[in-house]
Homo-oligomer: A and B are copies of this chain.
């Protein structure tokens, strides 16, 4: 039986070898295998050739289909049940709902009573021009998955499809002048010319937000339980309570809202093989990092949906109003670009291309090297917690054995020595413990930082693709230069501003983390030295 696919969106062939396909049309696939995001097949008019894989949905029987080739790695990570429920509840537009996938160690209800009323007001009621993707590569911050992906591709540039992200993000629609929405002043996002090129206008009222230890909450008379985090933003100083699923919902909004902004990945949904307490502590640390990156991003920090998330109190009605408003936000995808104000002088597109190309090389290298670094650091932590500890404790025990033998010597004058040796043995045992405890202080934070940056690095190929797509379009249509150039300049300014923000944050984060690490290590070795000095003193006692 020939493999069929249903066309989801019109596609007009632009190059030799491509074929045009129309929405609702059935096409025959020659093979299920994509070639850099393209499929080969025959349309209903008998033309054969290539078309974007993301524009069609392969028809399978009784198997949850995935209409977005790009989100496949994520869809695979969900169980069939989860995947089906995701699609069932959703609008059928894209794989968007995977970002609301269940969070197994929490209960998975989500505004249970309002589910029905929410449905017609979601994305489903207002079909987007292009499918919105929230399933960026590495979307699940799961470290193991990260590693698998890194293994199979060896690079962050997993999406080699020239157009799909450009199209899906709304970049193409915007460039072609198809975006249209009412942009209020308060929605306007300014790119200004800084010392190192375009940058996001700084937030005039920067704030931070603390995240308290989560508390266990129950509902339905204890039938269901979940963890609740207390968030206190500095600009309101009022605590609000949020669950992980709220973060997850917010993340999905941000991703559809800001096509060329690297939204920091949430910490992994579930850590396997860990005690719950460890997991909760790790997730909280991850959320703190996440929050830190959110509040320090000039665009993300001030956006409506994030402010609603940070400031809306226990009023259920107010929460739902804000939630619906965010879900109905018109300024998503293509329309996002309408909100951007650029510096007066347009950029030199060739220079932009070279900068973006340089950044691409940089991210590839950074990603490769932090993978190695993370492996090394985790291995080092493991060695300190096991091998180093064991070695120091064995030496300590052997000193204690020596003093135990010496205690049998019937020589009164050696009592002081025996005690000193026993103390030395205990000091070495303590030092063994110091080694075991240390990685938590100075290696785990580096590892957390690297995880967060792996997330950012996984976001950038898509961001770069939007910019590159725009640039290619401009080159391909020299006649429409004026408007196309202007819009391409907007996309380029936003992209470079985001790259600039990435570098700033990177330098800030790595400097402070390396300093933290070194200070911790210095304190650690000083603690050991003090312990040994203490032991040394015991030998003077009876001389």
Contacts and interface: CB of A to CB of B under 8 A. Distances in A.
A380 B373 contact: no
Contacts of A50: none
A507 B417 contact: yes
Contact of A394 (B369, B376, B413, B535): B376
Contacts of A533: 518, 522
A409 B373 contact: no
Contacts of A362: 405, 408-410
Interface string A93-130: 00000000000000000000000000000000000000
Nearest to A528: B525
A394 B409 contact: no
B365 A408 contact: yes
Interface in A411-457: 411-414, 417, 420-421, 424
A144 interface: no
A372 interface: yes
A275 B369 CA distance: 39
A424 B369 CA distance: 16
A402 interface: yes
A74 interface: no
A526 B522 CA distance: 9
A272 B402 CA distance: 29
Contacts of A238: none
Interface stretch (A201-209, A297-305, A509-517): A509-517
B373 A402 contact: yes
What is the count of identical protomers in the complex?
2
Nearest to A384: B391
Contacts of A369: 398, 401-402, 404-405
A397 B391 CA distance: 24
Residue of A373, A380, A409 ringed by the most chain B CB atoms within 10 A: A409
Contact of A412 (B196, B399, B405, B406): B196
B413 A507 contact: yes
A398 B447 CA distance: 12
Nearest to A522: B532
A153 interface: no
A424 B516 CA distance: 13
Given A196-B411, A518-B536, A529-B526, A365 B421 contact: no
Contacts of A525: 525-526, 528-529, 532
A383 B359 CA distance: 42
A536 B359 CA distance: 28
A366 interface: yes
Contacts of A522: 529, 532-533, 536
A309 B395 CA distance: 40
A369 B425 CA distance: 14
A393 to B, nearest CB: 10
A15 interface: no
Nearest to A404: B369
16 contacts: A196-B412, A355-B410, A362-B408, A362-B409, A365-B408, A370-B405, A373-B399, A376-B394, A380-B394, A388-B388, A411-B503, A417-B507, A518-B533, A518-B535, A518-B536, A525-B525
Interface of A: 196, 355, 358-359, 361-362, 365-366, 368-370, 372-373, 376-377, 379-380, 383, 387-388, 391, 394-395, 397-399, 401-402, 404-406, 408-414, 417, 420-421, 424, 503, 506-507, 510-511, 514-515, 518-519, 521-522, 525-526, 528-529, 532-533, 535-536, 539, 543
Given A370-B402, A417-B510, A515-B539, 18 more contacts: A196-B412, A362-B405, A362-B408, A362-B410, A366-B406, A369-B398, A370-B405, A376-B398, A379-B391, A387-B387, A402-B510, A409-B503, A414-B506, A420-B511, A421-B514, A511-B543, A518-B536, A518-B539
